[in-house]
């Protein structure tokens, strides 16, 4: 089995060395970068590319947010886990908006970090198109065409390129067409019970998806809210027996 490669972007030298030691002990190959310029250089020059990135936000020169955005321009799929001392919800929201997959705060428990990395790598390895040809991993509803392998949503002449997490969420809805899904169930299956993701975060992601797929996001036809529970995706656009709450302001 090919050794999986991690890129750790961390300017605290002692912490970076400690992370490298522990991940190498787990059998990973580890690259270290202390700033954004070096991180981007390593990411682009390493062949084959890194399988996962652990990224600090407070770095000299280029912030972790900017690094994340630039990496997403190069690779839409590589898992990115933010490891930061920033604990405000605005920091987490901005990181997710930039394309990160998970967010952990410092100080952290090493077993949890190792577990998250394993889970992210496992999920990434099962993305269609990563280790096998694209076998028609697409869907259509209304005027919306979704290509999950290419991370692309087409609505008429418009083309959107959602983040990995946005596509994971849409995939989960599509695969459960017509079923009412609780926020807790969505959190478990899409985010893997990330302790730094709340049910409100799910609501924010749903609102962003609606901007891609709905003609009128404030009056959705496909991605419906179910009062007091969560959401229901309906590919035929019929709301039928569903009781809706379009404010998205409540949580479980």
User: Taking the CB of residue 25, how many other CB atoms lie within 10 A of it?
Assistant: 9
- Using an 8 Å Cβ cutoff, are 105 and 86 in contact? yes
| CA distance between the termini of the chain | 43
Q: What is the pLDDT at residue 150? A: 83
Q: What is the pLDDT of residues 35-68, one digit of tens each?
A: 999 999 999 988 888 999 999 999 998 999 999 9
Q: What is the pLDDT at residue 29? A: 94
Report which of 210, 130, 198 is spatially closest to residue 186, judged by C-alpha positions. 198
For the residues 21-35, what does the mean pLDDT come to? 94
Q: What is the pLDDT of residues 107-164, one digit of tens each?
A: 999 999 999 898 888 877 655 444 433 344 788 998 999 998 888 999 988 999 888 8
CA distances from 37 to 40, 45, 128 (A): 5, 12, 31
DSSP-derived secondary structure letter, 230: E
Per-residue pLDDT for 215 more than 80?
A: yes
Mean pLDDT of the chain: 84
Domains in the chain, CATH or no CATH each = 5-125 (3.40.50.2300), 138-233 (1.10.10.10)
For the residues 97-103, what does the mean pLDDT come to? 89
């Amino acid at each position: 089995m090919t050794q999986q490669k991690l890129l750790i972007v961390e300017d605290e030298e002692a912490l970076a060395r400690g992370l490298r030691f522990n991940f190498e002990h787990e059998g990973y190959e580890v690259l270290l970068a202390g700033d954004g310029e070096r991180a981007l250089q390593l990411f682009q020059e390493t062949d084959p590319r890194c399988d996962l990135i652990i990224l600090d936000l407070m770095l000299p020169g280029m912030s972790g947010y900017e690094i994340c955005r630039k990496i997403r321009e190069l690779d839409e799929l590589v898992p990115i886990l933010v490891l930061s001392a920033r604990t405000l919800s605005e920091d987490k929201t901005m990181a997710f908006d930039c394309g990160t997959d998970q967010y952990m705060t410092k100080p952290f428990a090493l077993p949890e970090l190792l577990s998250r990395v394993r889970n992210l790598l496992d999920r990434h390895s099962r993305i269609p198109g990563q280790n096998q040809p694209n076998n028609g991993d697409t869907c259509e509803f209304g005027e919306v065409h979704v290509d999950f392998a290419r991370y692309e949503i087409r609505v008429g002449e418009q083309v959107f390129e959602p983040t990995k997490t946005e596509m994971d969420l849409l995939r989960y809805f599509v695969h459960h067409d017509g079923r009412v899904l609780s926020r807790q169930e969505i959190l478990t299956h899409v985010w893997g019970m990330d302790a730094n993701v709340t049910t409100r975060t799910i609501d924010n992601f749903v609102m962003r998806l609606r901007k891609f797929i709905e003609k009128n996001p404030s009056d959705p036809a496909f991605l419906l809210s179910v009062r007091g529970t969560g959401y229901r995706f309906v590919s035929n656009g019929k709301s039928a027996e569903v009781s809706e709450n379009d404010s998205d302001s409540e949580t479980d």
